[in-house]
Amino acid sequence: MTKIGIILGSTRPGRNGEAVARWVHDVAVQRDDAEFELVDLLDYKLPHLDEAYPPSLGQYSQPHTLSWASKIASFDGFVMVTPEYNHSTSGALKNAIDFLYAEWNNKAVGFVSYGSAGGTRAVEHLRLIAGELQMADVRAQVALSLFTDFENFSVFKPGDFQRDALTTTLDQVVSWSQALAPLRAA
C-alpha cells in the first residue's frame, strides 16, 4: 500500500498548522487508496543542521538525523502543511528538509498552505526546493487564508470548497506516488 506522510511544518507555540494538519489527516484517512500518517516536526527535535557532510552523501552521524531519515524513507509521497512566514516557508520545515537528500528522491509532494495570502509564496519556494531534491510536486494545492478560513486568525474553519481542493491534491499525490514507484525501486 502506498504510504503518504503529512508533514506538519510549523513548530511555533500556538501554531495554526496543527489544526490544519489534523484536518488534512482526518480527510485523508477516509480514503482507501493509500495509508496516511501525520508527521509532526516537534516530535523530532531537529537542531539547526548539524551534520558534517552534505546530505547528498548520505553519511548521517547524528541520532536525530538517523531517526528523521528512517521516518522520511518509509514514505512514498508527502503532503507538506506549511505556514507562510515572511513570504516563505517556516525555518523549521526548511531545516528538516535540508537534513536529508536521498530519502526525498522520486517521491511526490503536495502542499497545504496557510497565511494572509494563503501561503502561496511559501509553496512557490517549496516547489523550487522539491525540484532540487528530485521530488515531483503536484499542481493542485490548498491555499488557506487567515482572513476567510480562520476565525479571529486562529480558529480553523475552512470553507467547504477547501475540502474539494484537498481531495484533488490527495488524488494527485497518491497517483504520482504510485507512478514513481518503479524509480524508487531501481
pLDDT of 161 reads: 96
Residues sharing a CB contact under 8 Å with residue 126, sequence separation 6 or more, in sequence order: 80, 82, 89, 93, 109, 111, 137
Query: Nearest CA to 112 among 156, 59, 65?
Result: 156
Look up the pTM and report it. 0.97
State the angle between helix axes of 17-28 and 160-179 in degrees (0 to 180), rounded to the nearest 10. 70
Exposed / middle / buried, residue 123 (Cβ in 10 Å: 0-12, 13-18, 19+) = buried
Q: Determine the distance from the C-alpha atom of residue 166 to the mean position of all C-alpha atoms in its chain, rounded to a whole number.
A: 13
Q: What residue numbers bound the domain in which 76 lies?
A: 3-185
3 state DSSP class of 144: strand
pLDDT in tens, the chain (186 residues): 999 999 999 999 999 999 999 999 999 999 999 999 999 999 999 999 999 999 999 999 999 999 999 999 999 999 999 999 999 999 999 999 999 999 999 999 999 999 999 999 999 999 999 999 999 999 999 999 999 999 999 999 999 999 999 999 999 999 999 999 999 998
- For residue 177, give Cα distances in angstroms to 41, 115, 151: 22, 27, 34
pLDDT of 186 reads: 87
Residue in the block written with cell 502506498:
2
Count of structural domains within the chain: 1
CATH number of the domain where residue 161 is located: 3.40.50.360
Joined together, the cell numbers standing for residue 54 give: 552534505
